[in-house]
């Protein structure tokens, strides 16, 4: 048996494609006077096509199996649909051609598309042979008598909708509806798919209630069972006319529009709890369902339900428990539900509930991945002296938002800053976890003020301890704003690009090195000029390498893009950092997103020599007094005499503490930037600790004064000792 592809999105054979319900097979429509045709009912948010247009969107909510009706098969005869009444012009079910076969392109009703009125009805249709309306009686032909229902034997009144007559109709509808539901990835898409697949094909309205909150996976919900109305859908009241959307006469308020409460609590042992526990869909004319509906819809809303079997209450059960309910409604102008429709409702409820369960699990996994990636990357870049920073991170895909790419900016002693960018193989949770460990290791090593090549060496050892297949590339650079120099060490990473102030972009020549994790490899570092106004761009290979281009071609394109962007702002003004990052990412094409992308841009402002004062002090008792005099002269030269008292006091305390334990000359440096920064270095590695001095102690109050008077302060261990620094706001 060959199953022909069908879809509920198009009308079935023998169905009127302009039917506003679009869901049921209809008997012949009695003739209507031209100009009295009703406009066609459009789907929610859709514009039906104008007269003569053949638009697939016009049949979105039509009967399943419409693909055969929309595009006639010229290779084999179309089977006659069982139970489809005779058509007015065809004389045969399904619009099969008779002796008076219309021209090519005729619709299943025997009318060409150009003859369909904009209203979507059959009034105003003209037979090409006679010029009479399509529904008008032909004196030369005898009208086909109404065909009885094959199951009940009763004649169907003209113009009344008939149910889906065969099990195949229901199977095709269920197959198409479940495919539409399964296309959803998140909760809203799945619920919307259920509503759009059901209305108006299966029901005139639907109410979907979901548990609040929805349980995730195997977790056991706590508290009472509360259902919240998640979404409602019904046949829209507005209709389309020949000139487009136009306001139609507003009908009386439908009883379907008054159904539904926003929130309900399912009480244990109540009628609603029993219906939900039964899992199976039920007609609302049963005593159990009739007693449960006031609890679901509200005590004052039970009158709004239509009489008879015109409503089905279907519990939504996930993998472990009931997570909601769906209420299918039909209006009084439509035929009631049948017993077989309970099976259709059960299939829709089962597929929707399982899809909702998976969507909740997927949402939790996506949330965990986003949180992991967010915590692994710096939330905000630090504000460092003499350099401005900007960054970007793009995951490989929306479905895999975690990866092994990272960037970082770490303040170092002496107003320096370490710039780091790395890439762990893969873009999975494992890669993100390894990336987090390597980033933490790099921050710890940077705090020790190790040279860049030593940092990479220790990262290589750490990667080998994590596993034999833990490979990563990394580039570590240290920028000194006072010396206007940058020291770079590389471990198999693409080289950085330096954009000069005049608009010239160059790829820096740095040793390639081996990736981290190889082991037994020596890393080298190079020291380069970092002129003021220049911009250093660090990136991962996802920016320059893809299936469509190799890495060196991408690097050259990046260099050209930076140079072209710099030309827009002129030779004396570098482009803004944020806009520069956006321009760089715009160079990516549709096929260039194969890997994660991490981008770090650093604008070198530097510190002018006139804003730096530097001295060496011998470790002797006279050193604190000499430090006070030197600081007072520097402040006078900079016009900052209002800070003299505070600076003298704090410098004296810090220098006294350094001289007490140092065996080599002590360094004193003052930096004038947006703040006044003082740095005192010695050869003792032990860091000072803030403590509360007792009343009988003669010392121990120096750092307490620094902590109270300074804007910020800290101590950093160096390879040759330590540096204690503090900052004061400029007046």
As a whole number of angstroms, the longest Cα–Cα distance in the chain is 128
Q: Say if residue 249's pLDDT is above 70.
A: no
Q: Which of 565-569, 593-597, 598-602 has the highest mean pLDDT?
A: 598-602
Q: Say if residue 14's pLDDT is above 70.
A: no
When pLDDT is averaged across residues 178-194 and rounded to a whole number, the result is 89
Cβ-contact 121, 111 below 8 angstroms: no
The more confidently predicted of residues 589 and 368 is: 368
Six token digits for residue 80? 């006659």
pLDDT of res. 321: 82
The more confidently predicted of residues 477 and 688 is: 477
Cβ-contact 310, 259 below 8 angstroms: no
Q: Say if residue 165's pLDDT is above 60.
A: no
How far is the C-alpha of 518 from the C-alpha of 470, rounded, in Å?
9
Q: Say if residue 460's pLDDT is above 90.
A: yes
Using pLDDT thresholds of 50, 70 and 90, give the confidence band for residue 440: very high
Closest CA to 709 of 638, 654, 649: 649
Q: Which of 48-52, 155-159, 387-391, 711-715 has the highest mean pLDDT?
A: 387-391
Q: Specify which residues 394 forms β-bridges with.
A: 597
Closest CA to 621 of 659, 669, 671: 659
When pLDDT is averaged across residues 80-84 and rounded to a whole number, the result is 38
Q: Which of 34-48, 106-120, 415-429, 697-711 has the highest mean pLDDT?
A: 415-429
Q: Which of 463-472, 626-635, 716-725 has the highest mean pLDDT?
A: 626-635
**Range with the poorest average pLDDT among 41-55, 283-297, 332-346, 577-591:** 41-55
Using pLDDT thresholds of 50, 70 and 90, give the confidence band for residue 547: confident
Using pLDDT thresholds of 50, 70 and 90, give the confidence band for residue 456: very high
Cβ-contact 128, 102 below 8 angstroms: yes
3-class secondary structure, 495:
coil
When pLDDT is averaged across residues 141-160 and rounded to a whole number, the result is 47
Give, in degrees to the nearest 5, the angle at Cα 366 between 365 and 369.
85
Cβ-contact 15, 24 below 8 angstroms: yes
When pLDDT is averaged across residues 477-499 and rounded to a whole number, the result is 95
Six token digits for residue 535? 């911009």
Using pLDDT thresholds of 50, 70 and 90, give the confidence band for residue 50: very low
pLDDT of res. 672: 92
Distances, alpha carbon 322 to alpha carbons 101, 219, 297, 341, in Å: 55, 13, 18, 21
Cβ-contact 293, 284 below 8 angstroms: yes
Cβ-contact 63, 14 below 8 angstroms: no
Task: Indicate the helix (H) or strand (E) that contains 78.
Answer: none
When pLDDT is averaged across residues 366-386 and rounded to a whole number, the result is 84
How far is the C-alpha of 234 from the C-alpha of 254, rounded, in Å?
11
When pLDDT is averaged across residues 223-247 and rounded to a whole number, the result is 61
Using pLDDT thresholds of 50, 70 and 90, give the confidence band for residue 272: confident
Closest CA to 630 of 610, 609, 644: 644
The more confidently predicted of residues 68 and 382 is: 382
When pLDDT is averaged across residues 224-239 and rounded to a whole number, the result is 74
Average pLDDT, the chain: 75
How far is the C-alpha of 230 from the C-alpha of 419, rounded, in Å?
48
Cβ-contact 432, 404 below 8 angstroms: yes
What DSSP string describes 46-80?
-----TT---GGGGTT--S-THHHHS--SSSPPPP
Distances, alpha carbon 392 to alpha carbons 365, 419, 495, in Å: 23, 14, 18
Give, in degrees to the nearest 5, the angle at Cα 244 between 241 and 247.
65
How far is the C-alpha of 314 from the C-alpha of 540, rounded, in Å?
52
Q: Say if residue 64's pLDDT is above 60.
A: no
pLDDT of res. 318: 82
pLDDT of res. 47: 40
3-class secondary structure, 716:
strand
**Range with the poorest average pLDDT among 106-115, 308-317, 685-694:** 106-115
Give 206-220 pLDDT, tens digit per residue.
999 998 888 786 677
Task: Indicate the helix (H) or strand (E) that contains 657.
Answer: helix 644-661
pLDDT of res. 328: 92
User: CA-based Rg of the chain, rounded to a whole angstrom?
Assistant: 39
Q: Specify which residues 408 forms β-bridges with.
A: 420
- Classify burial at 653, counting beta carbons within 10 Å of its beta carbon; exposed 0-12, middle 13-18, buried 19 or more: buried
Six token digits for residue 403? 């990866």
How far is the C-alpha of 351 from the C-alpha of 316, rounded, in Å?
9
Closest CA to 369 of 423, 431, 421, 422: 431
Q: Say if residue 699's pLDDT is above 50.
A: yes
pLDDT of res. 473: 94
How far is the C-alpha of 126 from the C-alpha of 136, rounded, in Å?
9
The more confidently predicted of residues 157 and 224 is: 224
Q: In this prediction, what percent of the chain has a pLDDT beyond 90?
A: 34
How many other CB atoms are there within 10 angstroms of residue 298's CB atom? 17
Q: Say if residue 109's pLDDT is above 80.
A: no
pTM, whole model, 2 decimals? 0.63
pLDDT of res. 373: 79
Give 608-639 pLDDT, tens digit per residue.
999 999 999 999 999 999 999 999 999 999 99
Task: Indicate the helix (H) or strand (E) that contains 244.
Answer: strand 244-245
**DSSP assigned state of 673:** S
- Classify burial at 98, counting beta carbons within 10 Å of its beta carbon; exposed 0-12, middle 13-18, buried 19 or more: middle
Give, in degrees to the nearest 5, the angle at Cα 124 between 120 and 129.
120
Q: Say if residue 561's pLDDT is above 90.
A: yes
When pLDDT is averaged across residues 199-209 and rounded to a whole number, the result is 90
The more confidently predicted of residues 545 and 253 is: 545
Q: Say if residue 393's pLDDT is above 50.
A: yes
Q: Say if residue 721's pLDDT is above 80.
A: yes
The more confidently predicted of residues 1 and 204 is: 204
pLDDT of res. 5: 44
Helix/strand/coil (H, E, C) string of 320-379? Answer: CCEEEEEEEECCCCCCCCCHHHHHHHHHHHHHHHHHHHHHHHHHHHHHHHHHHHHHHCCC
Distances, alpha carbon 437 to alpha carbons 441, 444, 493, in Å: 6, 11, 18
The more confidently predicted of residues 22 and 198 is: 198
Cβ-contact 460, 438 below 8 angstroms: no
């Amino acid at each position: 048996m060959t199953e022909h592809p069908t879809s509920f999105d198009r009308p079935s054979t023998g169905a009127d494609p302009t039917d506003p319900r679009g869901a049921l097979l209809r008997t012949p429509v009695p003739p209507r006077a031209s100009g009295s045709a009703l406009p066609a009912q459009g789907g929610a948010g859709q514009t039906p096509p104008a007269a003569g247009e053949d638009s697939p969107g016009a049949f979105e909510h039509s009967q399943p199996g419409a693909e055969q009706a929309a595009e006639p098969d010229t290779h084999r005869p179309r089977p006659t649909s069982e139970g489809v009444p005779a058509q007015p012009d065809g004389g045969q079910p399904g619009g099969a051609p008779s002796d008076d076969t219309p021209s090519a392109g005729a619709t299943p009703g025997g009318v060409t598309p150009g003859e369909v009125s904009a209203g979507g009805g059959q009034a105003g249709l003209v037979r090409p042979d006679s010029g009479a309306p399509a529904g008008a009686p032909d004196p030369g032909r005898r009208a086909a008598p109404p065909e009885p229902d094959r199951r009940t034997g009763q004649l169907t009144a003209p113009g009344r909708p008939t149910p889906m007559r065969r099990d195949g109709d229901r199977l095709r509808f269920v197959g198409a509806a479940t495919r539409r539901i399964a296309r959803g990835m998140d909760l809203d898409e799945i619920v919307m798919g259920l509503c759009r697949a059901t209305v108006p094909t299966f029901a005139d309205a639907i109410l979907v209630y979901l548990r609040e909150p929805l349980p995730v996976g195997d977790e056991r919900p706590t508290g009472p069972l509360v259902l919240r109305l998640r979404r409602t859908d019904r046949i829209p009241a507005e209709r389309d006319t020949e000139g487009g959307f136009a306001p139609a006469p507003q009908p009386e308020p439908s009883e379907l529009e008054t159904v539904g409460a926003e929130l309900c609590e399912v009480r244990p042992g109540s009628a609603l709890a029993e219906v939900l526990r039964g899992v199976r869909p039920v007609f609302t004319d049963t005593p159990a369902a009739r007693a449960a509906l006031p609890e679901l819809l509200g005590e004052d809303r039970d009158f709004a339900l239509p009489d008879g079997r015109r409503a089905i209450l279907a519990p939504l059960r996930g993998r472990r428990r009931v997570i909601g309910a769906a209420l299918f409604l039909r209006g009084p102008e439509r035929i009631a539900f049948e017993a077989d429709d309970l099976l259709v409702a059960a299939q829709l409820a089962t597929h929707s509930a399982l899809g909702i369960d998976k969507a909740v699990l997927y949402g939790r996994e996506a949330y965990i991945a986003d949180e992991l990636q967010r915590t692994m990357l710096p939330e905000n870049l630090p504000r460092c002296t003499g350099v401005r920073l900007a960054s970007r991170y793009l995951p490989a895909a929306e479905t895999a938002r975690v990866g092994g790419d990272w960037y970082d900016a770490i303040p170092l002693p002496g107003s320096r800053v370490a710039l780091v960018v790395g890439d762990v193989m893969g873009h999975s949770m494992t890669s993100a976890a390894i990336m987090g460990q390597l980033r933490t290791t790099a921050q710890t090593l940077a705090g020790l003020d190790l040279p860049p090549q030593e940092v990479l060496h220790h990262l290589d050892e750490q990667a080998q301890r994590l596993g034999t297949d833990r490979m990563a590339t990394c580039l570590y650079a240290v920028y000194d704003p006072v010396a206007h120099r940058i020291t770079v060490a590389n471990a198999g990473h693409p080289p950085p690009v330096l954009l000069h102030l005049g608009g010239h972009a160059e790829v820096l020549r740095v040793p390639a090195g081996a990736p981290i994790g190889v082991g037994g490899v020596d890393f080298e570092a190079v020291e380069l000029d970092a002129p003021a106004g220049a911009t250093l761009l660090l990136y991962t290979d996802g920016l320059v390498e893809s299936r469509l281009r190799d890495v060196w071609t991408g690097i050259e394109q990046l260099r050209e893009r930076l140079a072209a962007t710099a030309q827009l702002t002129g030779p004396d003004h570098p482009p803004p950092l944020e806009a520069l990052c956006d321009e760089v990412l715009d160079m990516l094409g549709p096929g260039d997103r194969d890997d994660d992308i991490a981008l770090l841009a650093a604008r070198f402002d530097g510190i002018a020599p006139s804003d730096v004062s530097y001295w060496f002090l011998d470790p002797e008792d006279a050193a604190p007094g000499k430090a006070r005099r030197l600081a007072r002269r520097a402040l006078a030269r900079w016009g900052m005499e209002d800070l003299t008292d505070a600076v003298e006091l704090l410098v004296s305390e810090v220098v006294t503490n350094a001289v007490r334990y140092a065996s080599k000359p002590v360094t004193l440096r003052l930096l004038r930037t947006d703040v006044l920064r003082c740095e005192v270095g010695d050869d003792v590695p032990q860091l000072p600790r803030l403590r509360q001095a007792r009343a009988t102690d003669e010392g121990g109050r120096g750092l307490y004064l620094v902590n109270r008077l300074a804007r910020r302060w800290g101590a950093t261990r160096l390879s040759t000792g330590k540096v204690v620094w503090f900052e004061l706001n400029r007046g």
